[in-house]
Copies of this chain bind each other. A is one copy, B any other.
């Protein structure tokens, strides 16, 4: 059975303007790989209602899971939760369970719940909350869309909260062979190796050492550990020759 698939939607003007460097994509990608969920696509869109709705609908229809980051805080530019509700025609408003989660957290910090913070308790009907141990305001899963915060520390805590709920697959086995020559010098044998192992993904990533010499990391990935090992052995023998 093929592994479940996933897409990520990063929401935020600050990423597209270059003000902020996204850190959540890399974090999520690594965790999904460990769980055998294939991340197939990532999109980054602005804090724009139509852009968010269009992307969520399209990705939700195409992949088994969609993970969003960003736009669920208390300010006027936090419009993600509302857009998700609009995308699926779901009722939307302050929910008692989300409000209780906020109150529990704020009781420990002495924070006052005001009108703005209460925005973060607005959750689509039928959605399941995602716990936020860092700052209280929950994320949520609506259907196959998992809505999480953009602040990396909170995003990471929410990924931790949600992982046990997801259906995983077979984690790919991955191994790397470091070759001390440029990609162009081993490209032809690598192509032959890839052709004779259609079940493996063979990636080639050039690097330049501190002394200026070029090298290549060859990453061999596949579901069958024996096949990965056989391909690795073949490549190591070739390089040693």
Residues B40 and A114 in contact, CB atoms below 8 Å apart = no
Chain A 117-134 per-residue mask, 1 if CB under 8 angstroms from chain B, else 0? 101100000000000000
Segment of A28-36, A90-98, A160-168, A225-233 in the binding face: A28-36
CA distance A47 to B205 in the complex (A): 13
* Chain B residues near A119 (CB-CB < 8 A): 187
How far does the Cβ of A97 sit from chain B's closest Cβ, in whole Å? 19
CA distance A33 to B17 in the complex (A): 6
Residues A13 and B201 in contact, CB atoms below 8 Å apart = yes
* Chain B residues near A17 (CB-CB < 8 A): 29, 33, 39, 172, 174, 221
Residues A111 and B13 in contact, CB atoms below 8 Å apart = no
Cβ-defined partner of A203 (8 Å) among B14, B29, B33, B172: B14
Residues B188 and A115 in contact, CB atoms below 8 Å apart = yes
Residues A203 and B77 in contact, CB atoms below 8 Å apart = yes
Answer whether A151 and B13 are a contact pair too, CB < 8 Å, given A18-B32, A26-B22, A74-B187.
no
Cβ-defined partner of A151 (8 Å) among B10, B39, B191, B206: B206
* Chain B residues near A190 (CB-CB < 8 A): 75-76
A27 and chain B: residue at smallest CB distance: B18
Residues B202 and A76 in contact, CB atoms below 8 Å apart = yes
A194 and chain B: residue at smallest CB distance: B76
Closest 9 CB pairs of A and B: A116-B187, A18-B30, A18-B29, A76-B191, A42-B44, A117-B184, A75-B204, A74-B187, A74-B184
Query: A-side interface residues toward B, CB under 8 Å?
Result: 10, 13-22, 25-33, 39-47, 51, 73-77, 111, 114-117, 119-120, 151, 153, 172, 174, 182-185, 187-188, 190-191, 194-195, 201-206, 208, 219, 221
